[in-house]
Amino acid sequence: MDWNFLFVNSLNGIIYGSFLALTSLGLSLVFGLGRVVNFAHGVLYALGGYFFIIFLPSLGWSAMLFAPLVVVPLAIAMEWLTIAPIRNRDEIYTLLVTFGLSFMITGAIEYLWGTETTLIKPPVIFQGTVDILGNQFPVYRLFASTLSLLVTGLVFVFIQFTPVGLKIRAITDDNEMAEALGINTRWLLTSIFGGAAGFAAFAGALGAPIFSVEPEMGMGIIIDSFLAVILGGLGHLPGTAVGAFIVALAKSIGGGYIAEWAIAVLFLVVAAIMVLRPKGVFGRGRIA
Amino acid sequence: MAASPDVENRVEDITRVRSREIATRVLLAGFALLILAVPFLGASPFFITLLTEALIFGIWAMSLDLLVGYTGLVSFGHAASFGFATYAAGIFAMNVSADFFLSTMVAILTAAAVAFFTGLVVTRLSGIAFAILTLCICQVLFQISVVWRSFTGGLDGLIGVPLPTLFGREVEPGEEFYLLTAATLIICYLLLRRVVESPFGKTLLAIRANEDRAAAIGIDVRRHKLVILILSWMTGGVAGTLFVFLKAGANPMSLYWIESGNILAITILGGIGTLFGPIIGAIGFIFIRDQVTTMYRAWQFSFGLAFVLAVLFMPSGIAGIAERIWRRLWPARS
Amino acid sequence: MAGAFVIEGLHKSFGALHAVNDVSLDIEAGQVHSLIGPNGAGKTTLFNCITGFLRPDAGKVLLNGNDVTHQPSHKLVKSGIVRTFQITQVFGELSARENVELAARSREGLNFDLFRKASACQEAREDAEESLEVVGLIEKAHLRPEELGHGDKRVLEVAIGLALNPEVLLLDEPTAGMSRTETERISRLVRQIADRTSVLLVEHDTEVVLSISDKITVMTQGRVIAQGPPEQISKDPQVQDAYLGAVEVGED
């Protein structure tokens, strides 16, 4: 067995995992809060990447912050126009609508910016490599995943230790009770939807120099995020982060052939979790 | 509250309902005849091939309607029913016999077997959980088709599936194969029509409305879901068989989850719970996609937009609108 | 046909809450047995345990001496234990007749019949008509539930239950939200159907309960506090304290 090969792949897995954690977290939060399964979360990530490369020539690396700033209002508009009107219908409609939205937005990206894959170089100060156990590793990867983890950590702190975070946890635990206590879930859901979109877009921008930018990037990450979120338990944030790393490592260890098998097994494990959890991952106690 | 005095007026006149039913049948029969007549109306070979693909998608969408429309189970894994059958029929045709009936049988049985094992698990769930679980299982099957290279050809898929034979005679591509497809579609429609109008079909409506309530009138909800899943996948298998012969090959991408999403959108746009609507949805989808994409690059955007608007504003789809107009033309209330 | 229905020592708890605590009932064939108690007394939980929607932690359910505990809901229906729901849950897209026919076909074991038209099942049609006749809905059989009044909808629930040919019919608050006349109509109906099925009735309206029951069980906080014929229950000081008195004062 080639231990070094395994090591490099694992390291790449951890790097992908740190991005996946950030996107999955948003997915998990939005579901926990509003029982909205946001299929379009992936294309918001993609939009982050695209706005980043569009702003890059004029704004330089601050584009990384401006990209999410454009995506957030878009996401809020999306929530107002398509998700809010169907909140009283069966939850499955949120899944259908957001699935349609991801088709739409992927289509819009292809229409506006073409189907090519865009590669960009990391900023000059991060262009070197570092030596890790004899492997030359790009500095930017280490920097970006550290930053991504840092932001993920900040989200945790926000949820755990701020009054708004407390509200969010209260609603996730018991929506009706929270509303009875006078917490305005409607407003909070819209803000969290926007916030989650912002973090997804930031991940897309930050990851652009590593994973490159292409129209289907959102469709790829959304499935991985779903897996991470289900592995970790929907609405359960630390679990979601752990789930993200499991998914990312499974996809990268051993490379090609073994990874294909690992992914098949991963889907099986997730399927098993969904069935074996007493009320199902998405379940609700619905008696008479 | 007593029944309002105008109740009598709201009652549909039985004879008028009858006449509308007969008119609907005439319309459907006319549509069937039209489909069968297309090759004799001087359609171009290109048009024939495109329509063949559209009708195959029609069978596939109809099979999904059994789940989504009639049972209320939104499946995001329906690509598996189709994709698995393309491999089963393709491998059988390449190695054993290209007889259309035998290949179809092999594909149907394979689809039924996979549906059975899938069903043991997915029938425990409904709603969002059902949707995501079917997506996961479809991806497992997709990964298997990619990894199991010796059998499936990996990412390249199957290449060189022979032409099908019917009663020992090769079916020529083009018009002959089109007629085979059209006849299969009509047979599938008639069989499924029977299924949804049978006592079994009516219990599905009860399950769709409320699973607990259905159980409370003695319906074994899980077993019904299992049976309809198997029937649905078998029908999807018929579509897969036709497809592998049309394309003379199979590709793992037809098992990919985005295909499941496509067929789901086609079915919903066409109009769920009608069987007929999904056929219209499929014809519309294939023609617009293949005719328009070259000129109109915003195709995928428009398709997504149409789907979003349909879910938001007209969940009954094209068929729902058509039915409303039809009812207006043949009013049954005095 | 009415059957004898016995519940022995049923328990169900959710965490630390004993929702149903050692409840025993004994319903003789053809009796109307009522279950009363304040909100949260555990009546609906008991119902759900008996009808297979919840798994009881302990205890037995016996129908004509046969143990039917832990059977899934749909099998219980086949055995003869049929329930209605507190919230009216008839199938909205079907007419009243079709709703009842669905139940009749289910009873006749046609649920898996794929080879004929549902509308051609003659026996189910006749059974459905008979049920609708019994409850007095036959003239409105062609209407959809949304076109029926609230009272008619609850009556339709009873018709669906009857079409399943139960040995014991469990009615969950059939008079909830009803006017005086409608309540009387339901009361008469319950009394009337008792010759074909035993009835277990969960009910809030004490007047109804006292007038139509053969036997009454009073529950509070998951426990049975009294059991007996109406005369005895209405005089029971413990019951008056816990329940009846309070309601009567509240109503006056």
Q: Report the DSSP pairing between strands C17-27 and B249-250.
A: unpaired
Whether the pLDDT of residue A182 is over 90: the answer is no
Q: Which chains touch B (3 or more CB pairs under 8 A)?
A: A, C
Residue A181, domain member (yes or no)? yes
Classify each residue of C125-141 as buried b or exposed e, where b means 16 or more C-beta atoms within 10 Å of its C-beta.
Answer: bebbbebbebbebbebb
Give chain C's domain count.
2
The residue that leads in pLDDT, A60 or C89, is A60
| d(C-alpha C28, C-alpha C210), whole Å | 18
Verify whether the Cβ–Cβ distance A282 to B261 is below 8 Å. no
| d(C-alpha B215, C-alpha C111), whole Å | 12
* Nearest chain A alpha carbon to B266: A100
pLDDT value at position C86?
Answer: 74
Give the CA radius of gyration of chain A.
19
Lowest mean pLDDT among A61-70, A128-137, B64-73, B117-126: A128-137
Whether the pLDDT of residue A284 is over 50: the answer is no
What mean pLDDT comes out for the span B311-321?
Answer: 89
Whether the pLDDT of residue B334 is over 60: the answer is no
Please list every residue in chain B whose beta carbon sits closer than 8 Å to the beta carbon of residue A260.
143, 146-147
- B173, two tokens: 């591509």
Measure CB to CB from residue A103 to each of B128, B268, B304 and give the nearest one. B304
Q: Which of residues 119-138 of B touch A (CB under 8 A)?
A: 121, 124-125, 127-129, 131-133, 135-137
Residue pLDDT, tens place only, C139-170: 998 888 888 888 888 899 999 999 999 999 99
Verify whether the Cβ–Cβ distance A96 to B146 is below 8 Å. no
| d(C-alpha A243, C-alpha A271), whole Å | 14
Instruction: Please indicate if any CB of chain B lies within 8 Å of the CB of C23.
Output: no
Please list every residue in chain C whose beta carbon sits closer than 8 Å to the beta carbon of residue B200.
111-114
The residue that leads in pLDDT, A203 or A90, is A203
Residue A198, domain member (yes or no)? yes
What mean pLDDT comes out for the span A198-217?
Answer: 92
> What's the CA angle centered on B17, arms B11 and B21, to 5 degrees?
155
Verify whether the Cβ–Cβ distance A288 to C87 is below 8 Å. yes
* Nearest chain C alpha carbon to B226: C112
Measure CB to CB from residue B218 to each of C106, C119, C148 and give the nearest one. C106
Count CA atoms closer than 13 A to C198's CA, side-chain side: 23
Tell me the one-letter amino acid at C242. A
pLDDT value at position C250?
Answer: 36
- Distance from the Cα of A279 to chain C's closest Cα (Å) equals 13
Q: Is the dihedral of CA A107, A113, A115, A121 positive or negative?
A: negative
| d(C-alpha C154, C-alpha B216), whole Å | 15
In chain C, the N- to C-terminal Cα span, in Å, equals 40
B287 burial class (0-12, 13-18, 19+ CB within 10 angstroms)?
Answer: middle
Whether the pLDDT of residue B223 is over 70: the answer is yes
Residues C53 and C175 placed together within one structural domain of the fold: yes
What mean pLDDT comes out for the span B252-281?
Answer: 93
Q: How confident is the model at residue C248 (pLDDT cuts 50, 70, 90)?
A: very low
pLDDT value at position B146?
Answer: 86
Residue pLDDT, tens place only, A72-119: 999 999 999 999 898 888 888 999 999 999 999 999 998 899 888 888
The residue that leads in pLDDT, A23 or A287, is A23
Q: How confident is the model at residue C236 (pLDDT cuts 50, 70, 90)?
A: confident
- Distance from the Cα of B207 to chain A's closest Cα (Å) equals 14
Instruction: Please indicate if any CB of chain A lies within 8 Å of the CB of B191.
Output: no
- A169, two tokens: 């946890």
Q: Which chains touch C (3 or more CB pairs under 8 A)?
A: A, B
Q: ipTM more than 0.95?
A: no
% of chain A surpassing 70 pLDDT: 91
Measure CB to CB from residue C115 to each of B198, B205, B212 and give the nearest one. B198
The model's pTM is 0.90
Instruction: Please indicate if any CB of chain C lies within 8 Å of the CB of A180.
Output: no
Residue pLDDT, tens place only, B132-166: 899 989 988 998 888 887 778 877 889 889 999 99
Single out the residue in C102, C137, C165 at which a domain terminates: C165
* Nearest chain A alpha carbon to C45: A287
Measure CB to CB from residue A280 to each of B129, B297, B307 and give the nearest one. B129
Please list every residue in chain B whose beta carbon sits closer than 8 Å to the beta carbon of residue A103.
261, 265, 300-301, 303-304, 307
| d(C-alpha B91, C-alpha B102), whole Å | 12
Q: Report the DSSP pairing between strands B165-166 and B169-170.
A: antiparallel
Give the CA radius of gyration of chain C.
18
Classify each residue of A69-94 as buried b or exposed e, where b means 16 or more C-beta atoms within 10 Å of its C-beta.
Answer: ebbbebbbebbeebbbebeeeebbbb
**Do residues B181 and B164 make contact, with C-beta atoms less than 8 angstroms apart?**
no
Verify whether the Cβ–Cβ distance A101 to B308 is below 8 Å. yes
Whether the pLDDT of residue A203 is over 90: the answer is yes
| d(C-alpha B23, C-alpha C37), whole Å | 57
- C243, two tokens: 């329940």
Give the position of tokens 């909100």.
Answer: C39
- A10, two tokens: 């694992």
Residues C171 and C251 placed together within one structural domain of the fold: yes
Residue A145, domain member (yes or no)? yes
Residue pLDDT, tens place only, B39-58: 999 889 999 999 999 999 99
Give chain A's domain count.
1
Displacement of CA B288 from its chain's centroid (Å): 18
Verify whether the Cβ–Cβ distance C86 to A287 is below 8 Å. no
- B74, two tokens: 């939104």
- A171, two tokens: 């609603």
| d(C-alpha A56, C-alpha A46), whole Å | 15
pLDDT value at position B106?
Answer: 97
| d(C-alpha A282, C-alpha B134), whole Å | 14
| DSSP secondary structure of B62-94 | HHHHIIIIIH----S-THHHHHHHHHHHHHHHH
Instruction: Please indicate if any CB of chain C lies within 8 Å of the CB of A286.
Output: no
- Distance from the Cα of B168 to chain A's closest Cα (Å) equals 40
| d(C-alpha C102, C-alpha A170), whole Å | 43
What mean pLDDT comes out for the span A125-148?
Answer: 85
Give the position of tokens 């006017």.
Answer: C179
The closest of C235, C135, C147 to C188, measured between CA atoms, is C135
Give the position of tokens 């709603």.
Answer: B127
Helix (H, G, I), strand (E, B) or coil at B12: strand
The closest of A64, A240, A69 to A159, measured between CA atoms, is A240
* Nearest chain C alpha carbon to A286: C53
pLDDT value at position B5?
Answer: 41
**Do residues A148 and A19 make contact, with C-beta atoms less than 8 angstroms apart?**
yes
pLDDT value at position B128?
Answer: 87
% of chain B surpassing 90 pLDDT: 68
Q: Is the dihedral of CA B61, B64, B69, B74 positive or negative?
A: negative
Residues C188 and C216 placed together within one structural domain of the fold: yes
Number of neighbouring beta carbons within 10 Å of residue B148: 15
Residue A171, domain member (yes or no)? yes
Instruction: Tell me the CA distances in angstroms from A26 to A66, A151, A236, B255, one per residue in order.
Output: 19, 12, 11, 28
Between chain A and chain B, how many beta carbons pairs sit less than 8 Å apart?
129
pLDDT value at position A282?
Answer: 59
Number of alpha helices (DSSP H) and beta strands (DSSP E) in chain C: 10, 10
Neighbour order of strands in the sheet with C58-63: C17-27, C5-14, C58-63, C66-67
Q: Report the DSSP pairing between strands C58-63 and C198-202.
A: unpaired
Residues C35 and C3 placed together within one structural domain of the fold: yes
Domain of residue A170: give its range: 3-276
Single out the residue in C117, C135, C165 at which a domain terminates: C165
Number of alpha helices (DSSP H) and beta strands (DSSP E) in chain B: 16, 4
Domain of residue C111: give its range: 87-165
Give the position of tokens 């024939």.
Answer: B48
Residue A286, domain member (yes or no)? no
Give the position of tokens 């195709």.
Answer: B299
The CATH number of residue A238's host domain is 1.10.3470
DSSP label of C207: H
| d(C-alpha A83, C-alpha A80), whole Å | 6
Residues C108 and C176 placed together within one structural domain of the fold: no
Verify whether the Cβ–Cβ distance B203 to C114 is below 8 Å. no
Residues C93 and C74 placed together within one structural domain of the fold: no
pLDDT value at position B293?
Answer: 64
H or E stretch at A67? helix A63-78
Residue pLDDT, tens place only, A217-240: 998 899 999 999 888 877 778 888
Tell me the one-letter amino acid at B261. G
Residues C149 and C207 placed together within one structural domain of the fold: no
Q: Which chains touch A (3 or more CB pairs under 8 A)?
A: B, C
Relative orientation angle of helices B221-247 and B45-65, to the nearest 10 degrees: 170
| d(C-alpha C249, C-alpha C229), whole Å | 22
**Do residues C30 and C199 make contact, with C-beta atoms less than 8 angstroms apart?**
no
Classify each residue of C148-186 as buried b or exposed e, where b means 16 or more C-beta atoms within 10 Å of its C-beta.
Answer: bbebbbbbbbbbbbbbbbbbbbbbbbbbbebeeebbebb
Please list every residue in chain B whose beta carbon sits closer than 8 Å to the beta carbon of residue A275.
121, 124-125, 133
**Do residues B264 and B150 make contact, with C-beta atoms less than 8 angstroms apart?**
no
Instruction: Tell me the CA distances in angstroms from C22 to C26, C41, C172, C222, one per residue in order.
Output: 13, 13, 20, 8
Verify whether the Cβ–Cβ distance B305 to A100 is below 8 Å. yes
Q: Which residues pair with B158 in a beta bridge?
A: B250
Residues of C with CB under 8 A from a CB of A: 44, 47-48, 53-54, 85-87, 89, 172
Instruction: Please indicate if any CB of chain B lies within 8 Å of the CB of C73.
Output: yes
Residue B87, domain member (yes or no)? yes
Please list every residue in chain A whose beta carbon sits closer than 8 Å to the beta carbon of residue C89.
288
* Nearest chain C alpha carbon to A287: C53
Classify each residue of B177-192 as buried b or exposed e, where b means 16 or more C-beta atoms within 10 Å of its C-beta.
Answer: bbbbbbebbbebbeeb
C86 burial class (0-12, 13-18, 19+ CB within 10 angstroms)?
Answer: middle
- B237, two tokens: 């298998």
Helix (H, G, I), strand (E, B) or coil at C97: helix
The CATH number of residue C248's host domain is 3.40.50.300
| d(C-alpha B132, C-alpha A226), whole Å | 9
pLDDT value at position C27?
Answer: 92
What mean pLDDT comes out for the span A37-62?
Answer: 93
Verify whether the Cβ–Cβ distance C77 to B220 is below 8 Å. no
* Nearest chain A alpha carbon to C84: A288
Give the position of tokens 């086949």.
Answer: C78
Q: Which residues pair with A277 in a beta bridge?
A: none
Residue A201, domain member (yes or no)? yes
Identify which of A58-67, B68-77, C8-17 has the greatest average pLDDT: B68-77
Instruction: Please indicate if any CB of chain C lies within 8 Å of the CB of A288.
Output: yes
pLDDT value at position A234?
Answer: 72
Residues C142 and C95 placed together within one structural domain of the fold: yes
* Nearest chain C alpha carbon to B1: C149
* Nearest chain A alpha carbon to C47: A288
* Nearest chain A alpha carbon to B304: A104
What mean pLDDT comes out for the span A165-177?
Answer: 77
Residues C61 and C103 placed together within one structural domain of the fold: no
In chain B, the N- to C-terminal Cα span, in Å, equals 24
Give chain B's domain count.
1
Residue A285, domain member (yes or no)? no
Residue A116, domain member (yes or no)? yes
